Amino acid sequence: MTTMRQSVFWNKVNRVLLYLVIAILFTVVVFPFYWMIVTSLQPQDVVMNVPPELWPRHATFQNYIDAWKFAPWLRYFSNTLFVAVASTLISLATSSLAAFAFACIDFKGKEALFNLVLSVMMIPAATTLIPNFLIIRTLGWYDTFYALIIPFAASVFGIFLLRQYFMSMPKELWEAAQIDGASRLRYFRSIALPLAKPAIVTIAINSFLGSWTSFLWPTVVTQSQNKQLIEVALNTFLGDNSQQWAQLAAASVFTTIPIVILFFFVQRQFIEGIGGGGIKG
């Protein structure tokens, strides 16, 4: 009797410890975000205080106003949104078409072509940075949106993932559609694509996030302010205001918020995409 009561007691202690450790780790990981928001609300003289003030007693939105006025952020946001949406839509279109052909259509050289496409994954972007810069300049695309969109208009990851989806669809579906006289494109549009929706969402999120957070490539191929993407602009803002911590925090907050909001809506698909669907939320 006593041993059982003891084990119930220790079980409870274990549960409490478990939550305690999780909460501590969680606090450490999330703290920089809390700190980003608190700093963005402090008056500039307060952020230089030693020790730092953990709570904004004189909260102000002035930093947001000042940071926003400093640069044409609206222009950067629309540039980034345009580039992210365009590369996502184009790469979805090209990869789903290719994936469909690789999965459902018999054509000469299919295996060889697919292996060639897969081998692209062995070439890291860091290796092709310089030649791609040269290619963009040769095409006359330096400092244009083409340079930010077209190199990302195909996705090996997308082709691979969608091909898996299309291959797992029952063959009878395709055969029945052919008997009904449906064309390949119609079958692709009205049956195959809707069935692959989870994969499409995963690919779209990846592509959108990739564009939004891109930094090195836009630094290399753009120059003028009206082609600038948000992260490059934020780094420039840092260079111009290197000790204005409150304004820097405010700019970091408003450039990051769209991504965080997007993530809240799609976190399940995104996380399952990484974990391979093995974990249930």
- Residues between 5 and 34 with contacts to another protein, criterion CB under 8 A: 18-19, 21-22, 25-26, 29-30, 32-33
C-beta of 176 vs 259, nearer to another protein:
259
The correct pick among 39, 63, 222, 228 for binding another protein (CB under 8 A) is: 39
Q: Which of 62, 65, 30 is nearest to 46 (CA)?
A: 62
Q: In whole angstroms, how close is the CB of 70 to another protein at the nearest point?
A: 14
Q: Contacts for 46-51 with beta carbons within 8 Å, 24 or more apart? A: 46/246, 47/245, 47/246, 47/249, 48/245
The footprint of another protein on residues 212-251 (CB under 8 A) is 212-213, 215-216, 220, 231-232, 234-235, 238, 245, 248-249, 251
Q: What is the largest CA-CA distance in the chain?
A: 83
The correct pick among 1, 123, 179, 261 for binding another protein (CB under 8 A) is: 123
184 near another protein (CB under 8 A): yes
Q: In whole angstroms, how close is the CB of 10 to another protein at the nearest point?
A: 12
181 near another protein (CB under 8 A): no
- Residue 95 burial (CB < 10 Å; 0-12/13-18/19+)? buried
User: How far is C-alpha 205 from the geometric centre of its chain's CA atoms?
Assistant: 5
The correct pick among 74, 179, 261, 279 for binding another protein (CB under 8 A) is: 279
CB contact at 8 A, 165 and 196? yes
126 near another protein (CB under 8 A): yes
Q: Binding string, 43-62, against another protein, x = CB under 8 A?
A: ----xxxxxx----------
Q: How far apart are the first and last CA of the chain?
A: 38
Amino acid letter, 72: P
The correct pick among 3, 4, 45, 131 for binding another protein (CB under 8 A) is: 131
CB contact at 8 A, 271 and 201? no
